[in-house]
């Protein structure tokens, strides 16, 4: 299981279909981890990048982390009971690389002027060392961040050895990285895209060049802007999983988890029911509302402008989703 899962105690309310689609992509990479020349000519198209796009608050980051927690019964149904695959997915090496500007993995002039293998390798190493807060910390502690070398080190040092090891590389908030290259380095958008493409291309290169049966990689990209990454994964077969607002029946799970017992009387008040509906069942907006209720920030009576904040957030999400659909 993923030891760094920040959401392990929170309900995950995305439908089981998500797990099925993710499992199928993972199993493809497992099956194609070491294609022999007698079987086929190995190309990047044999491997999948999982891509989870859509607007902020829909649950992309949580969905990416859940790939390290896929239920056994779903894994078994996808792989026809292949125990090596099931064991690998139930005890993966999970590497969370958050490219948000406030994260330790964000753009670093010292690191990101180096070769692409070093840039990606350093971030993977940082994801596995909780004693280091940023990229500069990790380079002071270790040396030689060649990507293949880092992957080899992860496999050697994995505590619980299995016949096959899955390495889930979850890259989050890629759009911030692309923006930062433009603002901090003064580069063009095209250059920024190319730089990001080079960095994640190292993962595909390793998958393509792998001649070992003992591991496979599941690359996962989550972010709010898909136009900047689709080009980057053109050389690999991309599996896109779109997330939808919560099904109304799933909303109760979040309400039960976040709304304190002494505030449950709010559920009987029309103004609160309206407020829940106006969140559009977008997880982050709904959670924001429930936390506000717990902090006694909600009025007792309904007013037309009371929940305008949540209405505005919902409208913004829908506008962005509409733009994505038109662009696709």
- Sign, Cα dihedral of 28, 34, 39, 41: positive
* C-alpha to C-alpha distance for 13 and 251, rounded to whole angstroms: 8
- pLDDT beyond 90 at 118: yes
Under 8 Å between Cβ of 273 and 266: no
Strands (E), the chain: 48-52, 93-98, 165-172, 215-222, 237-240
- Taking only the tens place, the pLDDT of each residue in 162-173 is 999 999 999 999
Helix or strand holding residue 25 (H, E): helix 16-31
pLDDT for residue 274 is more than 60: yes
The answer to whether residue 295 scores a pLDDT higher than 80 is no
Q: How confident is the model at residue 302 (pLDDT cuts 50, 70, 90)?
A: very low
Task: Label residue 250 by pLDDT band (50, 70, 90).
Answer: confident
pLDDT at position 226 over 60: no
Share of the chain above pLDDT 90, in %: 41
Q: What are the CA-CA distances from residue 136 to residues 48, 102, 112, 175, 198 (Å)?
A: 31, 14, 11, 22, 21
What is residue 34's predicted lDDT score, i.e. its pLDDT? 78
Q: Residue ranges of the alpha helices (H) in 158-269? A: 174-185, 189-209, 248-258
- More confident call, 60 vs 129: 129
How far apart, in Å, are the Cα atoms of 323 and each of 117, 230, 293, 307, 319?
Answer: 34, 16, 32, 25, 6
Bridge partners for 170 per DSSP: 96, 220
85-112, pLDDT tens digit by residue? 999 999 999 999 999 888 899 999 899 9
Predicted TM-score of the model (pTM): 0.75
Tens digit of each residue's pLDDT (9 = 90 or more) over 34-76: 765 444 555 555 678 999 886 666 778 888 999 999 999 999 9
Confidence at residue 328, expressed as pLDDT on a 0 to 100 scale: 46
**Residue 7 confidence class, pLDDT cut points 50, 70, 90:** very low
Of residues 190 and 326, more confidence is placed in 190
For 303-310, what is the mean pLDDT?
52
Let me know the angle formed at the C-alpha of 241 by 6 and 20, rounded to the nearest 5 degrees: 80
Distance CA 40, CA 32 (A): 10
Give me the residue label for tokens 């992860």. 154
* Chain centroid offset of residue 85 CA: 21
Confidence band for 279, pLDDT divided at 50, 70 and 90: confident
pLDDT of residue 95: 97
Per the model's pLDDT, the better-predicted residue between 224 and 1 turns out to be: 224
Tokens 């190995």 sit on residue: 42
Lowest mean pLDDT among 20-29, 151-160, 312-321: 312-321
Q: What whole-number distance in Å separates Cα of residue 151 and Cα of residue 125?
A: 9
């Amino acid at each position: 299981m993923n030891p760094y899962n920040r959401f392990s105690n929170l309900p995950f309310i995305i439908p089981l279909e998500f797990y099925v689609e993710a499992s199928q992509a993972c199993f493809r990479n497992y099956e194609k981890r070491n294609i022999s020349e007698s079987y086929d000519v190995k190309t990047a198209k044999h491997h999948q990048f999982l891509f989870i796009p859509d607007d902020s608050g829909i649950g992309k980051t949580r969905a990416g982390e859940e790939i390290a927690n896929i239920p056994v019964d779903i894994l078994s149904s996808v792989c026809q009971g292949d125990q090596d695959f099931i064991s690998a997915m139930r005890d993966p090496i999970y590497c969370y690389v958050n490219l948000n500007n406030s994260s330790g993995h964000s753009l670093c002039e010292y690191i990101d002027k180096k070769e692409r293998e070093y840039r990606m390798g350093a971030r993977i190493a940082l994801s596995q060392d909780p004693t280091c807060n940023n990229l500069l910390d990790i380079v002071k502690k270790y040396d030689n961040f060649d990507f293949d070398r880092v992957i080899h080190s992860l496999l050697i040092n994995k505590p619980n050895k299995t016949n096959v090891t899955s390495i889930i590389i979850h890259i989050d908030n890629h759009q911030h990285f692309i923006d930062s290259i433009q603002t901090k380095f003064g580069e063009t958008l095209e250059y920024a895209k190319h730089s990001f493409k080079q960095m994640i291309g190292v993962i595909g290169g390793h998958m393509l060049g792998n001649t070992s049966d003992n591991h496979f990689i599941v690359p996962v990209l989550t972010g709010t802007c898909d136009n900047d990454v689709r080009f980057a994964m053109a050389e690999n077969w991309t599996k896109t999983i779109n997330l939808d607002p919560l099904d109304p029946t799933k909303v109760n799970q979040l309400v039960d988890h976040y709304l304190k017992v002494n505030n449950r009387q709010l559920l009987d008040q029309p103004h609160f029911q309206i407020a829940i509906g106006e969140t559009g069942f977008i997880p982050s907006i709904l959670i924001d509302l429930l936390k506000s209720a717990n902090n006694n920030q909600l009025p007792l009576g309904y007013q037309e402008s009371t929940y305008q904040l949540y209405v505005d957030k919902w409208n913004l999400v829908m506008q962005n989703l509409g733009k994505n659909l038109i662009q696709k």
